[in-house]
Amino acid sequence: MAIVQPQPAAEDGRRRLRLDSPVDRHHVGDLEISTKAEVDAAVERARKAQQDWAARPVAERARILRNAVDVLVRRRDEIVDQVRAETGKPRVEALAIEIVPACDFVNFWCKRATKDLRDEKRRLHGYLAPMKKLRIRYQPLGVVGVITPWNAPFVLSLNPVVQALLAGNSVVLKPSEVTPRSGELAVKVLHEAGVPEDVVQVVHGDGETGAALVDGDVDKISFTGSVTTGRSIASACAKKLTPYTLELGGKDAMIVCADADLERAAAGAAYLSMFNTGQVCLSVERIYVVESVAEEFIRLLKEKVAALRYGSEDGDVGPLFFDRQVDVVSRHLEDARKKGAQVLVGGSPADGEGLFFQPTVVVDAAHEMDLMTEETFGPVATVMRVRDEEEAVRMANDCQYGLGGSVFTQDKAKAERIAGRLNTGSVVHNDAAVIYGVPEAPFGGRKNSGVGQVNGLQSLRGFTHPQPILLSRFSSKKESIWYPYNADTIRNLDGLIRYGFGNKFLRKLLS
């Protein structure tokens, strides 16, 4: 369903989109666009339902949502088939990218919820400690709008929705119009698990529908998608002071050090630049190889990519999911050729009716090329030789994006040193992309790669307002600084400053 074609408005005035398969372009259905009135109505229903949902204990919400794991296991074939119908990705990738992490995320967050969302006692320091007690209550925000992309349409819908629900919010999900049914399935799974229908709902459509959700009466927006759309969402949210998280694009660099295991590095480069047909925000899009090992690395990479099967649903590399990506990848490669890059393997759309693109290896890349500066989102491994690891770090940081990065070396200490110098949201040693599947790890980008983080041990709390409640330890008619001011008030404050903070020993006790 990755070929999306607007259709003439129906007699009822509704907009519709025609959806065609990315594998062979056959017509697979039409998508009816939700109107602004329907989006607003969904948000209104969600707000009414949210109060009863939030009133349930966290443990009860977690028990209900944990049922989704059983539903996922039971309906895994149906989900895989739907994802493949919309994307054409190989069955292995549908299982590995969509189902396995979906099960793990639900299981993990449900276990964490009661601990992470319970009221927290926080110890006070200094002179207030004898008089006051502090509690932090993690209040649900209300209604959360979740807008998700087409590259991993099921798991990227399910993960933020589950987190928001556990935190006591209701959710309105707007999946990509490219893969609408996969996102819708995430909502159906949650309904089957026992989440009330109005607590989690789905609306369908393109950018207009997303804008209607952002402009609606929501209390937070969670968006995963392009930088351009992310900027528009940030601007719209700023007008209403609506909080948001934006997980945007990437141009992740892979650094291959002189001491790297070249066999692993080449195998990793082939896989990590082309799994999911390269359509992963954490996909390896730039490979910096130290000159002393570049020839051998390139030889191995070329050999591995040339052996990949593509062109059918049973291959290693599936089609591009969205017809517009064929144009983007082709344009980037043409620009690279004109500016001196060499294409060693592939480099063109595959023959046939579908959106398959040849797995491609490009060498002699430079930062003057779009292939090294703009997000390509295709099955392309792009290699640039560098003098040493110092130059590799400098070139890796010379980028408008800062989502992830990877370092291939047999020296763990070196990997940590290099990682600490990369201006990225995350770094992986001798691997890449897997970081999103580690729920304990905060996931988010720097620079144009986004704002805020998903996952991590504070992730559930990101869908709440941490409300501090300051309690008095003792009952008294007034505080020492309340009206009326007098000489004792000044003497007491001055004494606190002189003897409390002016004495180094007492200062430590007050810290």
Q: Which residues are part of the catalytic machinery? A: 247, 281
- Mapped onto helix, strand or coil, the DSSP state of residue 349 is strand
Closest CA to 360 of 342, 373, 375, 374: 342
Tell me if 256 sits within 8 A of 278, measured CB to CB. no
Angle between helix axes 58-74 and 76-87 (nearest 10 degrees) is 70
- Mapped onto helix, strand or coil, the DSSP state of residue 188 is helix
Tell me if 402 sits within 8 A of 423, measured CB to CB. yes
What are the residues facing 290 on neighbouring strands? 386
CA atoms within 13 A on the CB side of 84: 20
Closest CA to 310 of 269, 358, 342: 358
DSSP conformational letter for 420:
T
Cα dist from 71 to 67, 74, 160, 184, 193, whole Å = 7, 5, 18, 15, 7
- Mapped onto helix, strand or coil, the DSSP state of residue 347 is coil
- 325: Cβ–Cβ under 8 A, 6 or more apart, which residues? 279, 355, 377, 378
β-pairing, 426-429 vs 380-386, is: unpaired
Tell me if 378 sits within 8 A of 22, measured CB to CB. no
What are the residues facing 29 on neighbouring strands? 19
d(C-alpha 113, C-alpha 190), whole Å = 17
Tell me if 407 sits within 8 A of 431, measured CB to CB. no
